[in-house]
Amino acid sequence: MIWLILAILLWGVVHSVTASLGFKESLRPVLGNGFMRLYRLLYNLFSVISFIPILYLMVVLPDESLYQAPSPLNYVMLAGQGISAVLLVVAVLQTDTLSFVGLRQVFEEERPGKLVKSGFYRFMRHPLYTFGLLTLWLSPSVTINRFVVYLSLTVYILVGAYFEERKLLREFGQEYADYKSVTPMLIPGLRIGGNK
């Protein structure tokens, strides 16, 4: 299990560093603007590919069942997982999808981002995180290795959301501050300190 935790920790650190604006800007003078147009696309590909070893370790390391939801609860959870996965895709489509994956930057000049406040973003600031977490945690069968991965990703997402909020405040200023003051972070209708 320690190898799984170390792999997740390493992935999280590398993912966070390469996502930072400072890291990206430090590459610009070295690699040039032409390469930087590929950055978002390469970053997304790297994030997915570099997660494969974690999935591999989750499968091959010694493991045991933590819980198995009984029937019919397991079917309810599977349905919830499926719905959450579909809603995750819908939430991605409500953004500028081509920019999100990094394709628009390859073919067009980079332009200032637009704050999305419609669709699911009207009810929560981070629907991708909400639906992603639901997709994980509604799993009707969880082993210890899966639990470690799910818990680690949950912590990573929550910490990442904090830093993403700071980045969005720098990028959009008062518009984001106003949006943040009236829109919950992850759970529609839940008003906690992070919304203020």
Model confidence at 193: pLDDT above 60: no
Question: Can you give the residue ranges of every domain in the chain?
Answer: 1-182
Model confidence at 173: pLDDT above 70: yes
Closest C-alpha to 2, from 188, 148, 187, 180:
148
* 139 or 103: which leads in pLDDT: 139
Instruction: For residue 96, name the pLDDT band (cuts at 50, 70, 90).
Output: confident
Model confidence at 37: pLDDT above 60: yes
Give residue 119's identity as a one-letter amino acid code. Answer: G
Report the SS3 class of residue 24: helix
Q: Which long-range contacts (CB under 8 A, 24 or more apart) does 167-170 make?
A: 167/21, 168/115
Instruction: For residue 192, name the pLDDT band (cuts at 50, 70, 90).
Output: low
CB contact set of 96 (below 8 Å; sequence gap of 6+): 104, 113, 114, 116
Dig out the tokens for 112 from the structure: 């200032």
Report the SS3 class of residue 142: strand
Closest C-alpha to 84, from 50, 92, 195:
92
11-30 average pLDDT score: 88
Over the chain, what is the mean pLDDT?
91
CB contact at 8 A, 141 and 69: yes
13-33 average pLDDT score: 87
